[in-house]
Amino acid sequence: MESNLEESYAAVDLGSNSFHMIVANFVDGRLQIIDRMKEMIRLASGLNDNQELTEESMQGALNCLQRFGQRIRDIPHVNVRAVGTNTLRQARNGRVFLSQAYTALGHPIEIIAGREEARLIYLGVAHTLYDDTNKRLVIDIGGGSTELIIGCGFDTYYTESLYMGCVNLGQRFFSDGKIKAKRMRKAVLFARQELESIEVAYKKMGWVQVLGSSGTIISIRDVVQAQGWCKTGITASALATLKDELIAVGDSEAINFEGLSERRKPVFASGVAVLCGIFEALNLDQIDISEGALREGLLHDLIGRVNNEDARDKTVMDVVQRYAVDTEQAKRVKETAEIFFQQVKTGWKLDNKEDLELLRWGALIHEIGLSIAHTQYHRHGAYLITHSDLPGFSRQEQTNLATLVRGHRRKFPLEEFEPIISIMKTSIIRLCILLRLAVVMHRSRSHYALPKIHANANENEIDLIFPSGWLDNHPLTLADLHTEENYLQAADIKLTFY
Read off the DSSP letter of residue 452.
P
Measured CA to CA, the distance from residue 42 to residue 65 in angstroms comes to: 14
Q: Which of 247, 225, 226, 243 is nearest to 234 (CA)?
A: 225
What pLDDT shows up at residue 30? Answer: 80
Q: Hey, what domains does the chain have and what are their CATH numbers?
A: 7-112+297-302 (3.30.420.40), 130-291 (3.30.420.150), 312-497 (1.10.3210.10)
Measured CA to CA, the distance from residue 236 to residue 178 in angstroms comes to: 24
What is the chain's pLDDT, residue by residue, as a tens digit (498 residues)?
444 446 899 999 999 999 999 999 988 778 899 999 999 999 999 999 999 999 999 999 999 999 999 999 999 999 999 999 999 999 999 989 999 999 999 999 999 999 999 999 999 999 999 999 999 999 999 999 999 999 999 999 999 999 999 999 999 999 999 999 999 999 999 999 999 999 999 999 999 999 999 999 999 999 999 999 999 999 999 999 999 999 999 999 999 999 899 999 999 999 999 999 999 999 999 999 999 999 999 999 999 888 888 999 999 999 999 999 999 999 999 999 999 999 999 999 999 899 999 999 999 999 999 999 999 999 999 999 999 999 999 999 999 999 999 999 999 999 999 988 888 899 999 999 999 999 999 999 998 999 999 999 999 999 999 999 999 999 999 999 999 999 999 889 999 999
Across the strands, what pairs with 151?
136, 156
- For residue 33, which phi and psi values (nearest 5 degrees)? -70, 125
Q: Which of 6, 72, 63, 73 is nearest to 35 (CA)?
A: 72
- Reported pTM: 0.91
What pLDDT shows up at residue 6? Answer: 65
Q: Which residues in 45-73 are b (16+ Cβ under 10 Å) and which e?
A: bbbeeeebbeeebbebbbebbeebbeebe
Q: Provide the CA 424 distance to its chain's centre, in angstroms.
A: 18
Measured CA to CA, the distance from residue 154 to residue 318 in angstroms comes to: 17
What pLDDT shows up at residue 388? Answer: 95
Q: Yes or no: say if 8 and 23 are a contact pair by the CB < 8 Å rule.
A: yes
Q: Yes or no: say if 69 and 82 are a contact pair by the CB < 8 Å rule.
A: no
Residues 6+ apart with CB under 8 A from 103: none
